[in-house]
Structure formats: structure tokens, C-alpha cells
Amino acid sequence: MHFPRRPLSKSLVLTVCAGSIVWGVATGCSQDSSPQANGPEADAGPQAPSTVASGTPAAPGKDPKAPSAELPDAAAAWDGPLLGALFMQTPVMSDMEWPIPEGSRIRDPAREKVVRIGYLRKGSKVPVIPEAHRKPNCTDGWYELVQGGFVCGRYATLDLNHPTLRLQAPHAPDMNAPLPYQYGYNLTHGMPLYKNIPSREERLEYEPWLSGRARARRAEESASSDLDAGAGWGTNPNDPFGVGVDTVDASTPWYLQKFDGGKPQITLDELRGEEGGPVVRRMVRGFFLALDKQEEHPENHSKWWKTTGGLYAPVERIVVQRLLTEFHGVWLQDPLPGVPTISGNPPTTGDAGAYGDGGAPLAAGLPTKLPVGFILWRGHKWTLTADKKRAVRGEPLPRFTAVGLTGKSITVNGFGFWETEEGWWMRNADGQIARQTTPPKDLAPEEKWIDVNLKAQTVVLYSGSTPVYATVGSTGKKSPIKEKNHETKPGSFRIREKHIAATMDGDVASDGPYSIEDVPWIMYFNGSIALHGAFWHSNFGVERSHGCVNLSPMDARAIFQWSDPPLPEGWHGVMSTPDRPGSRVVVREE
């Protein structure tokens, strides 16, 4: 994939794989607003490297202590110079200029058409023309990427042994796995996220439940028999230093109070740590972290998770999230090269009653055209009596089985049924039906677009009028109570930006704060509303979200890699432009 660019020295050609990335708005189904390098006013430079020795990278769906097989980046297809990103969002610009700030009265023709076309995550290395073009707006010089676009040398380096690249950068996202990173669930209200691995004294100060002055944590919050929080470093996670525990009076911080199973009514702003202190922020139980690797304190040997953002949380307070489902939709046409395909029907090993993909018999033949039914609960194959006045229940069907339908339907004793291509009948109440719809009138020939049906909770990919992929998702949950109504708004949109992963958080009046680091495979299309992967639930096919379109990790990855704008290899995010518009997203009620 090449972006249009002004040639500087010689014509270079490089074939790269495509993926996707984006920036979102920090409201509703939203992304965090962590500092990023946007232009001349951004951070002065990278932080000093940590003095703690590096640990082992975490890999999605694998033993957190086992090394991960990282996907080769753009460097694998290029034997020339590489540019390494020094910031979590190292901006890639359309020209050697910064855009005019929004709302500014500046009039500068050279800057009016400049846009940010994507970004690199810290540690990424991409092919570059090594000539630095120094200008007043970037005294370190602009570098032209072989894939297109320009990066200011203030935010990147040609020195691949730079300490930031060697010691601070997170491991590369795994583009071949259902999830690009491994994730962890925070068990403890008020758990601090530290800038560096803290000393014993700092822990006793900022984690008062560890000291003899603190009350004992509730048993259900400290541990759970069905959760594996990783190897602890003390015999009691509430008392790792062996100083004993007791109770405190009622005038205690919010995180030492009881909430009877609910969430504390506190805001994200109130969770921030003191400026200049060792704690960046505190967490509410249920927050998710994106995990980079484990590290160990050099003196007391306590074990810590380092997040992809470079912060630290104790291993004994974090439960490693397992992949809840391997569910994915079905390809109705051949996918594009590089877009993942997985066999099996139902395509899952993690759901009750499901067949595996390893040579197990298919529960039903794989569909090749619409309409397609998806069994959401323990459905059955139904047959009708000769007079079609009674339906007879047959063998069971595992959850998430995809069923090819003929389009013929019938109602028997008040229940709707669809005829399958195999001759038996699917009951409407057993699942959802993805049906063909009319494409937008102004669609270009063979243009990619995505149909989201709010009533059926289905998502269908189209090339022109031809459906190519069908699945089920979870859109915003409706409620007559305004504070709890998260309905996904219908309309016609375009994918504005795509991210391999980015943090989503927010303050919800009815539910309290939420925070999920590095939500995978994000495709923003309407403000802060996006299609994205959801690893924290597997209840696809019903309303569930805060407004976004939740997809299984495998579905989200497939749609992310299929949709436009494509993501150049090695980039972490990409934005659509008039020359590279995003795929159309049509959200409809029926």
C-alpha cells in the first residue's frame, strides 16, 4: 500500500501488507486522551529508560511467562534503512508540515491541506528514505517513509539501538492472533498503576490494605477459585510483607469502602494520581490492562506486569484474561489476500456444546450465500409434519452454528421457521438471521461497505451488491431510562480511522467508570462510535454495548484487515483522506 507522496530523490517501490488504525473521541464508547505527539507543542522527548531489567513479553492466548512469536514488521520485506518510533503515537503527516490547529485564525496555504494520515507506536520500525529534510518546523529533519508520509525526526530515530527502542517499547502487536495483545483484569478497587516498580515503602503508602493499619480486604475481592491471577510473591496477597492486617474506621478512602457488589460512583479524573508522584492513576475493580511483559523487583523479587503503556501493576492483583470464544462469521466469497480465514462450523472451541475445528464433523454445512442463520443458544434442527401444522424438534445444534437458508419461511403455532439448504428448519427464536439488503444508491462499482442491522444484530460485508462475509455482533443497549440508553444511532457513515488497539474509557452515570486498555481492531465511523473487538464477553447477537458495535475478536480482526483505509505494515493507526476514503458503514433499524 502506498499513499500519494511527493518524490524526494528516487522512486522506491515496496509491497506491504495492509491493516488498520485510528484516533477516537473520549466520550461514550471512547478512547483515552493520553499524551501523543501531534506537532511542535508535543512532549519534549522520550522518558528515560527504566532501570529494571526487561522481562518476558506476554502473548495473546498463551502462557504469560512463555516468549511470544512476534509477527515480523515492515522490516521483513525491506533491506534498507529503518526508522524507529519513539512515542506511543508517533505522527505520520501527509507533507513536511504540521496542520493548522482547529479553530485557529492562521492562514497558511502550505498547511491548509496537511493532514495526519496515521501513526506509529513506540518501537515500530518502518522503511525510510534516510535523508533528513530540516525545516524550522522540525529542526531534527523530516523523514519520508517508503510507504508514504513524513515523520519529524523529533519523534523517531534511525538509531535502532536507541534506549527507547531497546528498553521502553512494548512488544509488537500480533497481527495473526485473535487479539494483538494479552489482557488482564484488575481485581482491586483503588489498585495503583505505578510509573516504575515501587519500593516496599511506596507500596505500603499507596496500597494501605497491605499495612497493619488497614482492614482486611473482602475475601471475594482478594481471590477467586476460578481465576488465575498469576504467580503471587507472598503467602497472602493482602499482606505480602507479613505485617498483619486489621480494620480501620469509617473515614477511609473510597477504595477501602464496601460497595455490595456494585461499582463506586467516582470519576476518571478522581482516579488520577498526584502530579509528580509515583502513581499515575488508580483503578476500579473490573478495569482491563493490556499486558506487555512481567518484570521483577531486583531486591524483594516482587513480580509486576508492565503494561503496553509502560505502567506497572502487581501480578497478584491482575487476572490474565483468557479468550472467551473463537466464534467468527462465514466468508461467502473468497477473502482478500492476507485476510484471515478459519474453518469449522460452529467455529469455536470455547463455547458449551461446540465442535472443535480439528477434524470434527460439521454441525451444519457452511453457508455460501445469504440468508444465513446463526444459532445463538442451544438450538435444534426442526422438521415439519406433512400438513405443516406441527414442528418436531430434532438433534441439537451448538451455539454459533452458521446455517445456510433458502429464503423460504413459515409460521407454525405462532413460531417462525426458516427452511435450511439441508432441508430441515431453523426456528427464529433460536438465533438471528442475516439477510440481503439493497446497497446505497451512490455506491461505486465493487465498493466495499458494511451493513449493520440493529434489529437482527447482524453485520454483513459487501463488495458492491455482493455479500462477502456475514456474522453477528452486539450494538448499543437500548433503555427507556435516559442514563442507561446506549442505543447505536442509525445512519450512513464512513470509517474515519482505524487502530490496531487503543484505550477506551468513560464515566457512565448508571454504571460508574470503565477503562479498557488497547481495545483491539478499532474502526471509528461516527464520532466515538466504532466497530471493534470485544474480548470481555461472548454474548454476540444481542444488544450489549455502550453504543459501539462489539464484534468477536476474530470477526473484528477480519473486518479490520478487509476494510478501507488499509493499514500499512508496521503502522499502528491510519486515517481516511479524500484520496483514501474509509469503507461505508450503514447502520439501519431493519
502 Cβ contact partners less than 8 Å away, ≥ 6 residues apart: 22, 23, 24, 31, 32, 518, 519, 522, 573
Region for 195 from its dihedrals, namely left if φ exceeds 0, alpha if ψ lies in -120 to 50, beta otherwise: alpha
- Taking a C-beta distance cutoff of 8 angstroms, is the pair 539, 350 a contact? no
Distance CA 384, CA 401 (A): 21
Please give the grid coordinates belonging to residue 287: 478495569
Pick from 403, 576, 437, 522: which is nearest to 30 by CA?
Answer: 522
- Taking a C-beta distance cutoff of 8 angstroms, is the pair 443, 464 a contact? yes
Residue with cell 455502550: 546
- Taking a C-beta distance cutoff of 8 angstroms, is the pair 327, 224 a contact? no
- Taking a C-beta distance cutoff of 8 angstroms, is the pair 355, 363 a contact? yes
H or E segment and range at residue 427: strand 425-427
Please give the grid coordinates belonging to residue 560: 479490520
Strand, coil or helix: what is 77?
helix
358 Cβ contact partners less than 8 Å away, ≥ 6 residues apart: none
Sign of the C-alpha dihedral, residues 309, 315, 317, 321?
Answer: positive
Total count of residues recorded for the chain: 590
Residue 532 falls in the annotated catalytic set = yes
The active-site residue, picked from 297, 380, 486, 532, is 532
The active-site residue, picked from 17, 29, 152, 548, is 548
Sign of the C-alpha dihedral, residues 211, 215, 218, 221?
Answer: negative
DSSP 168: I
Torsion on CA atoms 163, 165, 166, 168, rounded to nearest 10? 80
**Residues annotated as part of the active site:** 532, 548
